[in-house]
Amino acid sequence: MIASSGQLTDRPQAYEGGEQAFITHEKEAELAKQFTRAMHSASMGPATAWPEKIDLSGHRKLLDVGGGSGAHAIGALWQWRNLQAAVLDRPPVCEVAQEYATKYGLADRLGTHAADMWNDPYPAADLHFYGMIFHDWPADKCRFLARKSFASLPSGGQIIVHEMLFNEHRTGPFGVAAFNMVMLMYVEGEQYAGREIGEFLSEAGFTDIEVKPTFGYWSIVTGRKP
């Protein structure tokens, strides 16, 4: 991409100086809160769809990793009354998630865990959810997150990756390809095909890998820890 100086760079350009969104948000807590609230409205539609496509009756605690406002945790809690959930994110974002938990009457079932998903251990849970997280990062970091979840989950635990997916050959759909171009302005990741995310999970040790369309262009990729 071309920076304001006219020099070529491979860094995202949507933020001043080519900084990635997450670096800028860490510096600016209020911007992080605004971004989280804006993403909430875009997330609630898909968040109410995917929990209907999977049986979560055997699970007790969902950890929404990088969960932002908690929209996806909220969708899961509405559908599955047996679940408790926690949003893991940065402290300013957790404040917003707590606001939404209260707003939706779920404060007794939806908590927060302020942490850095890269460097801090995950709290106990038997279900890990990544909603539009993998597309923010290149493949090596996606593999890292898959391995971290595998190490943290108990036997029988499950991982769910929620994304807008390319088809098998990455030739479409057009909407996903267009969204991929937008994301390249903000982050170092990209949209993936279901088989690619499935490979990340399989390499980490997960079995019973499945790709399930859920809503519009969105799908979930799931795996289970033996």
Domain containing residue 131: CATH number: 3.40.50.150
Q: How many CA atoms lie within 13 A of 88 on its CB side?
A: 24
Q: pLDDT tens digits, residue range 33-47? A: 777 877 788 889 899
Identify the three-state secondary structure at position 58: coil
Whether 7 is in a domain gets the answer no
Instruction: Specify the amino acid at residue 17.
Output: G
Enumerate residues 6+ apart whose C-beta is below 8 A from 151.
none
Q: Specify if 145 maps to a domain.
A: yes
Whether 15 is in a domain gets the answer no
- Residue 72 three-state SS: helix
For 119-155, how does the pLDDT look when each residue is reduced to its tens digit (9 = 90+)?
A: 999 999 999 999 999 999 999 999 999 999 999 999 9
What is the domain count for the chain? 1
Residue 29's CB: how many other CB atoms inside 10 A?
Answer: 14
Position 173 scores a pLDDT of 82
For the chain, the farthest-separated pair of C-alpha atoms sits apart, in whole angstroms, at 55
In whole angstroms, what is the distance from residue 76 CA to residue 84 CA?
Answer: 9
What pLDDT does residue 212 have?
Answer: 97
Question: Is 21 part of any domain?
Answer: no
Q: What is the span of the domain harbouring residue 162? A: 44-116+125-224
> Taking the complete model, does pTM exceed 0.75, yes or no?
yes
Per-run averaged pLDDT (10 residues), the chain, 226 residues:
49 50 60 78 90 97 97 98 97 95 97 98 98 94 98 98 90 74 71 96 98 94 98
Three-state SS at 202: helix
pLDDT for 166: 84
Handedness of CA 169, 172, 177, 180 (dihedral sign): negative
- Domain-embedded: residue 69: yes
Closest CA to 189 of 138, 139, 140, 144: 138
Cα angle 152, 155, 160 (rounded to 5 degrees) comes to 65
The tokens describing 217, both together, are: 């262009």
The verdict on residue 20 lying in a domain is no
Could you tell me if residue 76 is inside a domain? yes
What pLDDT, on the 0 to 100 scale, is given for residue 26? 54
Residues 6+ apart with CB under 8 A from 20: 11, 12, 186, 187, 188
Q: Where are the alpha helices (DSSP H) in the chain?
A: 21-27, 29-49, 71-79, 91-103, 139-152, 174-184, 194-204
| Domain-embedded: residue 215 | yes
Give the whole-angstrom CA distance, residue 85 versus residue 151: 19
Phi-psi region of 89 (alpha: psi -120 to 50; beta: other; left: phi over 0): beta
